């Protein structure tokens, strides 16, 4: 690294959610103030959903410092010469990022504690006994004492509900409590200059925001698609000293790809910062939180692992998240395990095709799913052997290793695991076994000849798989279909050798019955 680059290096803001700390202590900062300026000048009440560790808390803290008139922190940023630093607004910030929300009573106590702190900070004496009344009084008092309207920021607005999803009665009670609290924001509209609520999920307006129906949801607004996360341009400019020596294409493959219907995709900031610190490609973001509830939901509903690749959804489906009705697509999208691959507008509505955002999520989530589907039969040693066989183009070894995985599934696992009731169980184990290795996979890849079940690119070769149940299709049907429909034609154009693999499962033996291969 050159002397100039070395001098330009700054501190990595890993885990730092305080704008003042980042600016005063010389950390890297990707300027989000153009987005913030647009929010403030074009509207008043907003809602934003993004996955965990995507910079939502830092965004709110930046807004706080802006309205409090801390101009010295914004020197050199887009908004500095476009803002009236002589006008300061009182700011109320509620964060539900920590606390015990295991009952509505504990949620109420946590809320009282938040209000106590804000009242002491602003020298306002409490006058009422309920959280909603105290918040209303606090907003009114701040408006009167400051002579300026109040800014209300709510961080992790949904965490008290998400933490209780395993106990629906508690989750519904917490939702009801928060609905009453958030309704105060609309009641105090005349005293409020700006509102921004952020969280992981977008709960139904009917049940949670019925009293706050003036919120503008910017989650899928193309204008704000990059308001959180790092862009390719950020890596080229802000983080340029850190990218030297890294394979940028590999960085994109591992961590880029999140899309909220904008033209530009973004990187997961937590991943990028850990990559810069450790110089190692790992599932940094995924490893910070095991998606137990997500995996439980997928297996309980019998969602096949390969069905996650290319899921279809529309606006209504992506927004249908609530305690009693959590659409699989909405759950995966809002938590960051799927993202928008492409969108289109037809018949008066916008539709989306979802996909894994990047290699980190595809590989890691399928690794977790595989352990749920196959138990100890798909341990690290088994996955490593399968990986080596594919790299070596040892197809008989691939067959043997896959058979061993199926054979190792405990006898009662099929009856205990709800997904086993579905025909796709066998294909799910097969797909997850390959996806967990990080290979380039395409499910139901389309060509003029039709859709092949699975296409795998590995070590300069292409493998096309077709899956059948032998009891229904008859022996040899899978490979015969691959040949007769000419699926290989599309792939020959790339100059890579193409191999056809017909895989037929037996419900009786609960294993692979036929594994036929042919080179084209």
8 CB neighbour count, 10 Å cutoff:
12
248 CB neighbour count, 10 Å cutoff:
12
124 CB neighbour count, 10 Å cutoff:
18
Quote the Cα angle for 271-272-274, to 5°: 65
Distance separating alpha carbons of residues 195 and 190, to the nearest angstrom: 12
35 CB neighbour count, 10 Å cutoff:
20
- The confidence score (pLDDT) of residue 412 equals 64
- The tokens for 258 are 């999140």
For the purposes of burial, counting CB atoms within 10 Å of the CB of 520, is it exposed (0-12), middle (13-18) or buried (19 or more)?
A: middle
**pTM: predicted TM-score of the whole model, two decimal places:** 0.91
Task: Give the mean pLDDT of 338-361.
Answer: 91
Task: Give the mean pLDDT of 274-282.
Answer: 97
- The confidence score (pLDDT) of residue 205 equals 64
445 band by pLDDT with thresholds 50, 70 and 90: confident
- Strands (E) in 191-338, as ranges, are 192-199, 216-217, 312-314
State whether CATH 3.40.1350 applies to domain 377-519.
Answer: yes
Top-confidence residue, 292 or 2: 292
- The confidence score (pLDDT) of residue 413 equals 61
- The confidence score (pLDDT) of residue 5 equals 45
- The tokens for 401 are 């290793």
3 band by pLDDT with thresholds 50, 70 and 90: very low
CA distances from 438 to 335, 339, 496 (A): 21, 18, 19
Distance separating alpha carbons of residues 126 and 220, to the nearest angstrom: 39
Q: Residue 318: enclosing H or E segment and its boundaries? A: helix 315-318
β pairing state of 216-217 and 45-49:
parallel
7, pLDDT greater than 60: no
pLDDT one-digit tens code per residue, 404-438 = 999 988 776 655 554 545 467 888 899 999 999 99
- The confidence score (pLDDT) of residue 415 equals 56
Question: Which CATH number among 3.40.50.300, 3.40.30.10, 3.10.520.10, 3.40.50.1820 corresponds to the domain 31-224?
Answer: 3.40.50.300
- The confidence score (pLDDT) of residue 1 equals 39
Q: Residue 117: enclosing H or E segment and its boundaries? A: helix 104-121
Average pLDDT of the chain is 91
pLDDT one-digit tens code per residue, 129-174 = 899 999 999 999 999 999 999 999 999 999 999 999 889 999 999 9
Task: Give the mean pLDDT of 233-239.
Answer: 97
Distance separating alpha carbons of residues 226 and 238, to the nearest angstrom: 15
2 band by pLDDT with thresholds 50, 70 and 90: very low
106, pLDDT greater than 80: yes
Delimit the domains of the chain by residue range: 31-224, 377-519
Task: Give the mean pLDDT of 77-95.
Answer: 97
């Amino acid at each position: 690294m050159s002397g100039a680059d070395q001098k330009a290096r700054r501190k990595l803001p890993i885990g730092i959610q305080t704008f003042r700390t980042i600016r005063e202590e010389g950390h890297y900062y990707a300027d989000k103030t153009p987005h913030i300026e647009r929010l403030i000048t074009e509207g008043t009440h907003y809602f934003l959903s993004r996955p965990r560790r995507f910079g939502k808390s830092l965004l709110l803290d930046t807004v706080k410092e802006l309205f409090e008139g801390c101009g010295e922190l914004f020197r050199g940023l887009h908004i500095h010469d476009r803002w009236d630093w002589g006008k300061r607004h009182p700011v109320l910030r509620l964060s539900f990022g920590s606390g015990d929300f295991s009952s509505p009573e504990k949620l109420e106590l946590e809320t009282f504690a938040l209000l106590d702190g804000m009242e002491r900070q602003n020298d306002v004496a409490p006058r009422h006994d309920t959280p909603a009344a105290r918040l209303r009084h606090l907003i009114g008092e701040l408006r009167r004492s400051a002579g300026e309207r109040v800014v209300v920021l709510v961080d992790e607005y949904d965490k008290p509900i998400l933490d209780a999803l395993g106990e629906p009665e508690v989750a519904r009670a917490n939702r009801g409590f928060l609905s009453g609290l958030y309704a105060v924001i609309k009641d105090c509209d005349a005293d409020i200059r700006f509102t921004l609520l952020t969280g992981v999920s977008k709960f139904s307006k009917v049940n949670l925001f019925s009293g706050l129906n003036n919120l503008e949801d910017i989650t899928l607004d193309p204008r704000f698609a990059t308001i959180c996360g790092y862009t390719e341009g950020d890596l080229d400019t802000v983080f340029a000293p850190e990218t030297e020596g890294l394979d940028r294409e590999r960085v994109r493959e591992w961590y880029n790809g999140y899309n909220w219907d904008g033209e530009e995709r973004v990187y997961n900031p937590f991943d990028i910062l850990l990559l810069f610190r450790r110089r190692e490609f790992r599932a940094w973001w995924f490893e910070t939180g095991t998606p137990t509830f997500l995996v439980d939901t997928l297996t309980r509903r019998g969602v096949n692992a390969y069905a996650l690749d290319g899921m279809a959804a529309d606006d209504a489906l992506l927004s249908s998240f609530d305690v009693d009705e959590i659409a699989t697509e909405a759950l995966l999208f809002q938590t960051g395990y799927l993202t928008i691959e492409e969108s289109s507008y037809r018949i008066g509505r916008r539709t989306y095709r979802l996909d894994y955002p990047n290699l980190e999520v595809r590989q890691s989530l399928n690794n977790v799913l595989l352990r749920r589907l196959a138990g100890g039969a798909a341990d690290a040693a088994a996955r490593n052997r399968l990986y080596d066989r594919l790299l070596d183009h040892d197809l008989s070894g691939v067959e043997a290793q896959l058979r061993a995985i199926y054979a190792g599934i405990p006898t009662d696992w099929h009856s205990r695991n709800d997904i086993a009731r579905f025909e796709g169980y066998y294909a799910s184990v097969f797909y997850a076994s390959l996806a967990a290795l990080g290979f380039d996979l395409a499910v139901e890849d389309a060509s003029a000849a039709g859709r092949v079940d699975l296409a795998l690119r590995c070590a300069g070769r292409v493998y096309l798989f077709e899956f059948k149940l032998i009891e229904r299709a008859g022996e040899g049907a899978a490979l015969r279909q691959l040949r007769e429909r000419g699926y290989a034609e599309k792939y020959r154009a790339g100059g890579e050798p193409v191999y056809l693999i017909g895989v037929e499962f037996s419900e009786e033996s609960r294993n692979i019955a036929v594994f036929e291969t042919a080179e084209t």
